[in-house]
Chain A
Amino acid sequence: MWKQVLYDLFSWGILIYSLSLLASYIFIGVYSIGETRKYLRKSSFTDYNLLASSSYSPSISILAPAYNEGANIIENVRSLLSIHYNQLELIVINDGSKDDSMEKLIKAYDLEAVDYLYNVSIPAREIKAIYKSRNIVYKKLIVIDKVNGGKADALNTGINLASNQYLVCIDVDCILEQDALLKLIKPFIEETDKRVIATGGVVRIANSCIIQNGRLLDVNLPKHFLPRVQTLEYIRAFLLGRMAWSRLNGLLLISGAFGAFDREIVIKSGGYNPKTVGEDMELVVRMRRYMEEHDLPYKVAYIPDPLCWTEAPASYKILGRQRNRWTRGTIETLKIHHILFFNPRYGLLGMLSYPYWFFFEFLAPLIEFIGMVGFIFFAFIGIVNWSFFFALLGFVLTFGWLYSIFAILMEVLTFNQYKKKGEVAKLVLTAMLEPFFFHPFVVWSAVRGNIDLLRNKHSWGEMTKQGFKVQPGAAVEKITTASRLRNGLFQYLPVATGWLLMLVLLRVTDFIYNGTIHQYPGQPAYIFLLSMLNDLAFFVKASILLGLMHMLLSLINKRLAAGVTISISIIITLISVALMQYFSLSFVPLGADLFGYSMNDIKQTVGASGGINIATIVALLTVILGLLAIFKWVSPRLQRPAKWIQLCTAAIAITWIVIGFTSPNKFTIRDEYAGNLSRNKLNYFVAASYDHFFPANIETAGLLAGKTKTFNYVDEAKYPLLHVDSTADVLSPFFNKDTSPPDIVIMMVEGLGRAFTNDNAYLGSFTPFLDSLSRQSLYWENFLSNGGRTFAVLPTLLGSLPFGASGFNEFGEKMPAHLSLMSILKTNGYRTSFYYGGDADFDNMALFLQKQKIDAINDIKSFPADYPKLPEHNGFSWGYGDKELFRHFLSNMDAETDQRPSLQVVLTVATHSPFLVNAQEHYLGEFEQRMNTLKFTDLQKEEHRKYDHQYASILYADDAIKSFINNYRSKPRFKNTIFIITGDHRMPEIPMSTKIDRYHVPLIIYSPLLIRPAAFESISSHSDIAPTLLAYLKNNFNLRAPSTVSWVGMGIDTAHYFRNIHATALKQTKNNLIDFIMGDYHLSDEALFKMMKNMDEEPQTDPAMKASLQAAFSQFKQKNDQVTKGMPIVPDSIYRNYYPR
């Protein structure tokens, strides 16, 4: 059940994530429209030139860091100086360029070193000199020559020297529009109720544009695919994304290429962070955080106008570095400001902006990458639902195209930069190609960014541009990921080879050792070869996993990978040695039975077998040192294997893989010792442990929906029900085996329906004790009673008998000869008894039981006089309540001296109309409290109160069972007792939801003998219990039981998942046989229903299926009728052989 929970959590989680992502994109697209439209309309009648000439315009300091910009710096600075703005200073920061940038500037602008007063408000690296021009024309220009410290450090230096109110940070190679500065500054002076702390504008791609003397002369769509697809990406990001966030006032990022900031707030926030590669985003987040923490109203504005043109990477290599850096910058910023995450203190910033970036900017590429890898893996192992996959792929692709087309439409409607013939069409075509040729690369770059960050990489990488060189580079990446992985594989091969050699040595040692101290198997060469194949198969499986792990770790660190792989190999080998030793002592390989022992048991066992002695320690040390020696010897020889070795390795690997996956399980060996000797002990242990913790769903050929098991009838003409008993012993794997046959206590709780017991009970669970008990038990949540009334429970549960005309008991004295669980156990020496609080003559129960040669019927007549009865209703009482019933049982048990194993059947009565129990008021109070515990709404409470007596009686019954079990626990026979708890049928006095509901009961098999609890969703019925119990007892305790039987049921299904392999008839009332289930379908009074996982039903109109069920039902009814009309159930020979004398 937990696997299903995990799967549901994962799949629903991914679904919710994906839908949220799509919804957010849609929201952003739509929400941006308003802001863009508003800006365009405002802009249409705004005279920006006012700002240029007014002495009241805000003062601006342009900061332009430069590194190795010698090729273009003169023109770029000239274009910046030509900006017409009244109160402007231009600060160019030469960040330790290695070329002749400074010399060119000094010469071109007639610069001289000056004394300049400034405060170091933000720490930055040393300034070598500050220059100003002798020429008054360039009086606005200040050039700083400083020690290299990176872009952030250069900007911080500029901030320290800046003296104006606003800072405009710009990449020196960016081309600005004529009125870019004016448009960028205007938002700062437009607001009256909040302070604008930063503004940004759209950055456009300048590739293929005509640029002369630092001016954009003609706009062209980039000719090559890569810059063109980035154009589209920028349109989406800037025109849609940032405008929407700006409207929300949740923008986290101003482009580092061109943005304006309030100097005072920048300084108060601490300036740019030189320790991150995403300094632009980090600053904005920090400024916002500052304003939030000081409760100051603020805004970060965005201009959709194309203000700045820059060159985009034209090769995948450079693009990869850029995206890698952007990813690292994003993660670093998110990490630094993690306090914002869903922190209401920070308002929209913490509750929306930050989480959005975290989930949809940071996590999205990782989730996508994991999805891609997962898909490849699932495709490889063949479990992809291809129709769903293609539908989902189509969905994602068409949504992506739609979004891109929408962005293009917005661009055309607004700024329409690409007016030339065919440019828009090319952009549309680019949008179509993007998911295949661009997006996967961006995802991969983001993943690499994550990996690089884990590897503590902080560099920018060399961002070579065509004609531009930007920013300091650290170590240049020359080794690709593919080559790293390949190197990792080559590094792993010698480790794997060394390990294989050790395994071969161990096998040889094991074979010889066991042969010497015990015996060699018959056909020793064959067995030895088989052993080797088993070991190779295990080695291949383990090697693939280990190899993959090694290759991935080698991306982080080679030594780490080698160390981990070698360590794991050593550990695996040591465990193998221990398991081989276990086999040599016990002749059986160690499996999941290990988990049935406590630590003390294990210690005792190990000690008893000789324990950890000197010889063992020496042996283990020999193994470890031997392995290390092999690794050391093999590794250098296989570090750079020759081509022929690589080919051989590949050929051998393929052969091994084929052998490994065509497991030698097909080779059956009759001799158990030889078979166990040839097994790979570790493989056996791992497989058995896996099956223990994750029991395999039983897959039997033909058990699909609609197909069921069928009986192998012996002689239908004479004995309509007689068949070969093929009931599987499904209980043994769950039980510890005791030496003596267990006591069996079968508790049939009157009216105990699944509707009000255990998890997902649709009426709420009113059996808290049974709920907790079921978690320690084998629990079937979709069990069915074969009858809608109590009349059916004894014959079906104890005897798996047909119904006859009006229930089997109604045969009365003419009951046909039959065998049952009770009679067979009696024959096998069991003591049998029946407990009932009412009159056992009711429904001929006593008669039926007497036919089973029962030892004792303890009904109302047997109770001591001082036991209180159930309250009377109109002068009638059912008899004794459940507490008294169990008390009577335990009292008899204490007095019992017979040590034979026992089968004791208990049938309760309190949860029966009129639902009057002793301490009624107390249980009504419990009912109220239970509703509160279940957090019922007022409406639900009101509904439930209509049946308060019923629920109170259920709580009473649960309490009684609790008391019974707890008392039983103190009895000596408890340890060897199996309790079977079920409802005889579902209480009809509380309205039912479906046609099947009346039969829907739980089945709980509780016992201290259980190895572990388990829950099952598969459907079985009361008629399956007797065959299953007998199969278990037969298999484990050599119970004498017939091999041909007349059971109606074919045994309990222990599939964990929902299914029905039975074809079962259900008798609604004594006179109504109208229900039949087969596969997932339920035929009820000629109406067809499909049963769902929670036993909900949906009506179906499937004539073919209906006909199939009707035919099967008819077949059952025919046999039932035959029995009713007198045909024998079992042959005399079997009856006399197994019926108690």
Chain B
Amino acid sequence: MPFANEPGVHIYKSNNFSKLFQLFLPGHKIFLLNNITHISTRFLYGAIVFFSFLTVILVSGILITVLRKKIMFDKRSMIVRQLEDWIMEVVLENASDNQSFFLPAAVSLVLKSQLAKRVLLRKLMELKKSLSGVSGDNIQKVYSQLNLQEISLKRLESKYWHVKARGLQELAVMHQDAYHEKVFELTNNKDTMVRMEAQISIVRLKGYSGLQFFDTLSYPLSEWHQLNLLSLLGHLPLSNEDGILSWLKSFNLSVVQFSLKLIGEQHAVEFHDEVINCLGHPEIIVRREAILCLGQMPSQEAATALKAHYLVEPDKNLQMIVIQILRKTGSHLDLPFLHILQNGEDLDIKLVADRSVLYLQKINGNRQIPVTAT
């Protein structure tokens, strides 16, 4: 019986391959794979050419970068050399409040270039950080006189966070209060670094009143951030008692922590009771800071509160801190308490207690206790 209707040949498998995969099939025009070495020499030669080309590009990049850096370095150095005498004169001048500084023609000429202005701005910033008093004020005046705030303000508009942050720093260091609103706007910026720098800047400009952002702060302040704020506020007497009291009750633990640090830094004994209350805070971070804060405000009351807290403190590390802080707040009256701890079973507690006893004994009577290596 004959077989009718010879079926045609169908390319059954071609739908299964993507065009890219076909590059790897032997016989394909580009032929990246062969069935013996898996990768064809053609592919390797192509890769060699590509890598070599990239290498040449990168070497060119190196040369250009080195050259550019050298040129920029030379230019900056030259600008600094051209300006440094004049800057020193400005710094040392005993200028009055409204006095403008004389701008020599040569300096004026140099400052026509934006680069020179930026170099000058950087130099002024360096000097301002290390100078205060009349010299510091003079630097601020030069900054305003030469309208360098335009550069700082332009930096605030940059899309790069680090440029924004630098602009903020410049405005704050140069005490440009007129622009505090622009600075304040950025205290809520989506970028963490910009936000942090804006907060530091606003505090630098406004002091304690700059801390109004605490009221709405929803994220924690890092310890580094707190350190920056403390360095600005540490020497300023606490002016906003209500503020401190509300911060001590903040839901943001880092705000509470900072407030305690601030109290400690200021040795603000008027907040003694509030600090002692913080010993009972449910969070370790707050209790820890409260203990350290009491160490900054030594008193028998503080020592009593710490001893009482020790007995209820569940965290061993905090207990050890309490014992350490008793060296600052305590006296010979606390020795019996420490002796009890010395006889306890926990070696770490014993060690700290030993050291505290030794310390208190030293300051109270110079008696030494033998080494106890456990």
Residues in chain A near residue B7, CB distance under 8 A = 988-989, 991-992
Residues B55 and A993 in contact, CB atoms below 8 Å apart: no
Residues B65 and A1093 in contact, CB atoms below 8 Å apart: no
Residues in chain B near residue A402, CB distance under 8 A = 51, 54-55, 58
* B308 adjacent to chain A (CB < 8 Å): no
Residues in chain B near residue A428, CB distance under 8 A = 59, 62
Q: How far is the CA of A191 from the CA of B254 in the complex (A)?
A: 12
Given known A45-B166, A988-B7, A997-B9, contact A120–B374 (CB-CB < 8 A): yes
Main secondary structure of the interface of B (DSSP, over half): helix
Whole-angstrom distance between the Cβ of A785 and the nearest chain B Cβ: 14
Q: Which of B11, B54, B231, B368 meets A115, CB within 8 Å?
A: B368
Residues A401 and B374 in contact, CB atoms below 8 Å apart: no
Residues B371 and A408 in contact, CB atoms below 8 Å apart: no
Residues in chain B near residue A595, CB distance under 8 A = none
Binds B, one of A76-84, A383-391, A858-866, A1123-1131: A383-391
Residues A119 and B166 in contact, CB atoms below 8 Å apart: no
Q: Which of A190, A385, A398 meets B52, CB within 8 Å?
A: A398
Q: Which of A50, A398, A789, A995 meets B48, CB within 8 Å?
A: A398
Given known A41-B162, A402-B51, A409-B61, contact A993–B11 (CB-CB < 8 A): yes
Residues B317 and A189 in contact, CB atoms below 8 Å apart: no
Residues A189 and B51 in contact, CB atoms below 8 Å apart: no
Per-position 1/0 for A188-199, Cβ under 8 A of B: 011111000000
Q: How far is the CA of A117 from the CA of B361 in the complex (A)?
A: 15
Residues B62 and A117 in contact, CB atoms below 8 Å apart: no
Residues A119 and B55 in contact, CB atoms below 8 Å apart: no
Which residues 20-56 in A have Cβ within 8 Å of B in the complex? 41-42, 44-45, 47, 50-51, 54-56
Residues B41 and A120 in contact, CB atoms below 8 Å apart: no
Whole-angstrom distance between the Cβ of B66 and the nearest chain A Cβ: 6
Residues in chain A near residue B355, CB distance under 8 A = 117
Residues in chain B near residue A58, CB distance under 8 A = 223
Residues A405 and B9 in contact, CB atoms below 8 Å apart: no
Residues in chain A near residue B35, CB distance under 8 A = 1092-1093
Residues in chain B near residue A401, CB distance under 8 A = 51, 55
Q: How far is the CA of A120 from the CA of B220 in the complex (A)?
A: 36
Binds A, one of B94-102, B103-111, B137-145, B346-354: B346-354
Per-position 1/0 for A974-1015, Cβ under 8 A of B: 000000000000001101111101000000000000000000
Whole-angstrom distance between the Cβ of B203 and the nearest chain A Cβ: 14
Residues A54 and B227 in contact, CB atoms below 8 Å apart: yes
* A597 adjacent to chain B (CB < 8 Å): no
Per-position 1/0 for B195-224, Cβ under 8 A of A: 001000000000000000000000111111
Whole-angstrom distance between the Cβ of B226 and the nearest chain A Cβ: 7
**Chain B residue with minimal CB distance to A49?**
B129
Residues B1 and A264 in contact, CB atoms below 8 Å apart: no
Q: How far is the CA of A763 from the CA of B351 in the complex (A)?
A: 78
* A12 adjacent to chain B (CB < 8 Å): yes
Q: How far is the CA of A15 from the CA of B40 in the complex (A)?
A: 12
Which residues 325-374 in B have Cβ within 8 Å of A in the complex? 347-348, 351, 354-355, 358, 368-374
Residues in chain A near residue B59, CB distance under 8 A = 405, 428
Which residues 1077-1118 in A have Cβ within 8 Å of B in the complex? 1090, 1092-1093, 1098
Q: How far is the CA of A447 from the CA of B267 in the complex (A)?
A: 63
Q: How far is the CA of A119 from the CA of B355 in the complex (A)?
A: 11
Residues B228 and A50 in contact, CB atoms below 8 Å apart: yes
Q: How far is the CA of A793 from the CA of B231 in the complex (A)?
A: 99
Residues B27 and A424 in contact, CB atoms below 8 Å apart: no
Q: How far is the CA of A399 from the CA of B50 in the complex (A)?
A: 9
Given known A115-B370, A401-B55, contact A12–B38 (CB-CB < 8 A): yes
Residues in chain B near residue A56, CB distance under 8 A = 223, 226-227, 230, 261, 265
**Chain A residue with minimal CB distance to B1?**
A842
* B44 adjacent to chain A (CB < 8 Å): yes
* A413 adjacent to chain B (CB < 8 Å): yes
Per-position 1/0 for A894-923, Cβ under 8 A of B: 000000000000000000010000000000
Q: Which of B38, B39, B197, B230 meets A54, CB within 8 Å?
A: B230
Q: Which of B13, B27, B354 meets A117, CB within 8 Å?
A: B354
Q: How far is the CA of A54 from the CA of B262 in the complex (A)?
A: 12
Whole-angstrom distance between the Cβ of A25 and the nearest chain B Cβ: 12
Per-position 1/0 for B1-22, Cβ under 8 A of A: 1010011111111000000000
Q: How far is the CA of A248 from the CA of B130 in the complex (A)?
A: 38
Residues B69 and A416 in contact, CB atoms below 8 Å apart: yes
* B165 adjacent to chain A (CB < 8 Å): yes
Q: How far is the CA of A524 from the CA of B369 in the complex (A)?
A: 102
* B161 adjacent to chain A (CB < 8 Å): yes
Q: How far is the CA of A392 from the CA of B370 in the complex (A)?
A: 71
Residues in chain A near residue B224, CB distance under 8 A = 186, 189-190
**Chain B residue with minimal CB distance to A395?**
B44
Determine the interface band of chain B, counting residues with CB < 8 A from chain A. 35 or more
Given known A409-B58, A989-B7, contact A41–B161 (CB-CB < 8 A): yes
* A726 adjacent to chain B (CB < 8 Å): no
Residues A408 and B374 in contact, CB atoms below 8 Å apart: no
Residues in chain A near residue B219, CB distance under 8 A = 192
* A762 adjacent to chain B (CB < 8 Å): yes
Given known A118-B351, A428-B62, contact A50–B371 (CB-CB < 8 A): no
Which residues 941-990 in A have Cβ within 8 Å of B in the complex? 988-989
Residues A412 and B48 in contact, CB atoms below 8 Å apart: no
* A57 adjacent to chain B (CB < 8 Å): yes
* B169 adjacent to chain A (CB < 8 Å): yes
Residues B254 and A117 in contact, CB atoms below 8 Å apart: no
Q: How far is the CA of A119 from the CA of B349 in the complex (A)?
A: 10
* A310 adjacent to chain B (CB < 8 Å): no
Residues in chain B near residue A57, CB distance under 8 A = 227
Residues in chain B near residue A667, CB distance under 8 A = none
Q: How far is the CA of A875 from the CA of B25 in the complex (A)?
A: 49
Residues in chain B near residue A11, CB distance under 8 A = 37-38
Residues in chain A near residue B226, CB distance under 8 A = 56
Residues in chain A near residue B230, CB distance under 8 A = 54, 56
Residues B371 and A192 in contact, CB atoms below 8 Å apart: no
Residues B55 and A405 in contact, CB atoms below 8 Å apart: yes
Residues B9 and A994 in contact, CB atoms below 8 Å apart: yes
Residues A120 and B373 in contact, CB atoms below 8 Å apart: yes
Whole-angstrom distance between the Cβ of A481 and the nearest chain B Cβ: 33
Q: How far is the CA of A1098 from the CA of B10 in the complex (A)?
A: 14
Residues A15 and B162 in contact, CB atoms below 8 Å apart: no
Residues B58 and A192 in contact, CB atoms below 8 Å apart: no
Residues A412 and B9 in contact, CB atoms below 8 Å apart: no
**Chain B residue with minimal CB distance to A1100?**
B27
Residues A44 and B261 in contact, CB atoms below 8 Å apart: no
Residues A385 and B37 in contact, CB atoms below 8 Å apart: yes
Residues A192 and B227 in contact, CB atoms below 8 Å apart: no
Residues B223 and A189 in contact, CB atoms below 8 Å apart: yes
* A563 adjacent to chain B (CB < 8 Å): no
Residues A387 and B41 in contact, CB atoms below 8 Å apart: yes
Q: How far is the CA of A56 from the CA of B59 in the complex (A)?
A: 46
Residues B254 and A192 in contact, CB atoms below 8 Å apart: yes
Q: How far is the CA of A118 from the CA of B25 in the complex (A)?
A: 71
Residues A1098 and B169 in contact, CB atoms below 8 Å apart: no
Whole-angstrom distance between the Cβ of B55 and the nearest chain A Cβ: 5
Q: Which of A15, A127, A193, A993 meets B12, CB within 8 Å?
A: A993
Given known A398-B55, A405-B55, contact A391–B48 (CB-CB < 8 A): yes
Q: Which 10 A-B pairs have the closest CB atoms?
A: A41-B162, A991-B10, A189-B223, A115-B371, A391-B44, A398-B51, A1098-B27, A192-B220, A391-B41, A993-B12
Pairs across A and B, CB under 8 Å, 22 listed: A15-B38, A42-B162, A54-B227, A54-B231, A56-B230, A115-B368, A117-B358, A189-B224, A190-B224, A192-B220, A192-B222, A385-B36, A402-B54, A402-B58, A405-B58, A409-B65, A424-B62, A762-B13, A991-B12, A993-B9, A993-B12, A1098-B25
Spell out B's residues near A (CB within 8 Å): 1, 3, 6-13, 25-27, 35-39, 41, 44-45, 47-48, 51-52, 54-55, 58-59, 61-62, 65-66, 69-70, 129, 160-162, 165-166, 169, 193, 197, 219-224, 226-228, 230-231, 254, 261, 265, 317, 347-348, 351, 354-355, 358, 368-374
